[in-house]
Amino acid sequence: MQYKYNEELTKLASFNKTDGCFSDYSEKKISAYRWTFSDIEDKRNFIPMASNKENFSLAKTCNGWALSFHKVESKSRESWKKLITDKPKKYKKIGTHIAFGEILKTDGKCSEPEKSSHFNLIEYKDVDLIERFEILDCLLENETLEPME
pLDDT class of 52 with cuts at 50, 70, 90: confident
Residue 143 lies in a domain: no
1 located within any domain? no
Percent of the chain at pLDDT exceeding 90: 64
Q: Would you state the pLDDT for residue 144?
A: 45
Q: What is the mean pLDDT of residues 15-20?
A: 60
pLDDT band at 19 (very low <50, low <70, confident <90, very high): low
Contact of 98 with 35, CB cutoff 8 Å: yes
Q: What is the C-alpha separation between 71 and 142, in angstroms, rounded?
A: 25
Contact present, 66 and 129 (Cβ < 8 Å) = no
Q: How many CA atoms lie within 13 A of 109 on its CB side?
A: 15
Tens digit of pLDDT for each residue in 94-132? Answer: 999 999 999 999 999 999 999 999 999 999 999 999 999
Domain that holds residue 129: 6-15+26-138
Domain membership flag for residue 146: no
In a domain, 20, yes or no: no
pLDDT, tens digit (0-9, with 9 covering 90-100), for 53-73: 777 777 788 889 999 999 999
User: Is 75 inside any structural domain?
Assistant: yes
What pLDDT does residue 17 have?
A: 54
Residue 129 lies in a domain: yes
Domain CATH code at residue 36 = 3.20.170
pLDDT value at 143 more than 50: no
Q: Are strands 118-123 and 108-110 parallel, antiparallel or unpaired?
A: antiparallel
